[in-house]
Amino acid sequence: MLDCLFCKIIQRSISAKLVFEDNDAVAFEDINPQAPTHVLVVPKKHVSSLAETTDADVVLLGRLQRTAAALAAKLGLSSGFRVVANNGRGAGQTVEHLHYHLLGGREMKWPPG
Ligand code: AMP
Ligand code: ZN
């Protein structure tokens, strides 16, 4: 996808601190971390948001969530972590390529802001 920031990171034309990669996804550190651990889990396939996924993406979505859980374990987030997908401008989505935020390393409040 031309002009998509996360596609460019996946293609390595923009650099990021990668913490994970497999056939389906990459994970890299958020450039503006909101917690001591803040990683983005991003499918290699360009889909603009969760709302744009279809039933054909069910396995991919499951893999992304499993990747987030595995990374949480690997990164030592044993006391808890949060996985968030902001969907749409009104929910704070700023990059229109589906991603899950993996946040941990501090107390999380509820409800989120
Ligand atoms: P969202 O606002 O939910 O769409 O999340 C987009 C996230 O991407 C934000 O938390 C940004 O801090 C993060 N971000 C933006 N540009 C970069 C970048 N070049 N490398 C890593 N993370 C980025
Ligand atoms: Zn993209």
Q: How far is the CA of 5 from the centre of ligand 1 (A)?
A: 9
Round to whole Å and give the CA distance between 36 and 94. 21
Q: What is the pLDDT of residues 64-110, one digit of tens each?
A: 999 999 999 999 999 999 999 999 999 999 999 999 999 999 999 99
Nearest CA to ligand 1 atom 17: 31
Distance of alpha carbon 14 from its chain centroid, rounded? 17
Round to whole Å and give the CA distance between 70 and 107. 20
Instruction: Please report the pLDDT score of residue 2 as a whole number.
Output: 80
Instruction: Please report the pLDDT score of residue 1 as a whole number.
Output: 74
Looking at the predicted structure, is the pLDDT value of residue 8 above 80? yes
Instruction: Please report the pLDDT score of residue 93 as a whole number.
Output: 98
Closest CA relative to residue 21, chosen from 38, 49, 42? 42
